[in-house]
Amino acid sequence: MSGLSIQSVSKTFTLDGRRNTVLQDVSLELAPGSFGALIGPSGCGKSTLLRMVADVFAPSAGRILVDGAPPQQARRQHGIGFVFQEATLLPWRSVLDNVRLPLELSGAAPVRSPEDLVKLVGLTGYEQARPSQLSGGMQQRCAIARALVASPKILLLDEPFGALDEVMRYRMNFELLRIRAETATTALMVTHSIEEAVLMADRIFVFAARPGRIVETVEVDLPRPRRLTTMDDPRFNATVDRVRRALFGQLPHALDHEVVHETVV
């Protein structure tokens, strides 16, 4: 049984009486415990797809299964964890109380205690700290712990490190890799960074512009655990190049123009 199965999914919104197709005939599969990355131009529907998996939106056509169940059932059974670009922590609650929040709202019994998850994400000693007392990276660690506290079947991440500087972003990439190695949770992440997608994922789904559709699925042939030295592996660079070509293959002249423009500036 697939950890995540998206079958011929399309999504159309109606705005001011006009129909707008955001996603068209998207299909992908993720095995249990694997990591998928969605990458493509802004506005191509990546975040919309993530929200359909999370049961925020319903598909206009097609079917989504999370661990063999529809998103509605997976959500009711606390099978979906979500990490946003911003940590969205409650400022009046401590780290530990923010992590506990999904359990309080759902009444679910945790497989791992909130205290264990705070330790897992490297926030030991900050249990009683408020979000304003944490760095951006520490806030995202707290958000990841909160997303994992109900032991979800799938972890959804929407540009979770997009607001961080490059050094902190790489540090958080490796932190997330470490956390997932311990939890074995299926994960699907939206990113705009090719290198981040290759470093993190087992499969990369490359999207074309709206209406969003998958133009290529790239298998990442890199051993785990992945470390900083992974980025020196020739296979890493070859995969980055393949994803880049898939992203820009339909607009080679536009890419050349951008490179020339950047060089001139």
In the prediction, which pLDDT does 243 show?
A: 96
Coil, helix or strand for 103? helix
Task: Convert the pLDDT of each residue in 143-158 to its tens digit.
Answer: 999 999 998 999 999 9
Task: Convert the pLDDT of each residue in 97-139 to its tens digit.
Answer: 999 999 998 887 778 899 999 999 999 999 999 999 999 999 9
Query: Could you give the CA distance from residue 53 to residue 55 in angstroms, rounded to a whole number?
Result: 5
Task: Convert the pLDDT of each residue in 186-240 to its tens digit.
Answer: 999 999 999 999 999 999 999 998 789 999 999 999 999 999 999 999 999 999 9
Query: Could you give the CA distance from residue 85 to residue 191 in angstroms, rounded to a whole number?
Result: 10
Task: Please determine, for residue 264, whether its predicted confidence score (pLDDT) is greater than 90.
Answer: no
β-strand pairing of 186-190 with 35-39: parallel
Can you point out the beta strands (E) in 74-212? 80-83, 154-158, 186-190, 203-208
Joined tokens for residue 226: 């992945």
In the prediction, which pLDDT does 259 show?
A: 44
Task: Convert the pLDDT of each residue in 65-103 to its tens digit.
Answer: 999 999 999 999 889 999 998 899 999 999 999 999 999
Q: What is the CATH number of domain 4-79+152-264?
A: 3.40.50.300
Task: Please determine, for residue 265, whether its predicted confidence score (pLDDT) is greater than 50.
Answer: no
Task: Convert the pLDDT of each residue in 1-24 to its tens digit.
Answer: 459 999 999 999 888 888 889 999
Peptide bond connecting 91 to the previous residue in cis, omega within 30 degrees of 0: no
Query: Could you give the CA distance from residue 179 to residue 184 in angstroms, rounded to a whole number?
Result: 8
**CB count in 10 Å sphere of residue 140:** 28
Task: Please determine, for residue 252, whether its predicted confidence score (pLDDT) is greater than 70.
Answer: no
- pTM of the entire predicted model: 0.90
End-to-end CA gap in the chain: 51
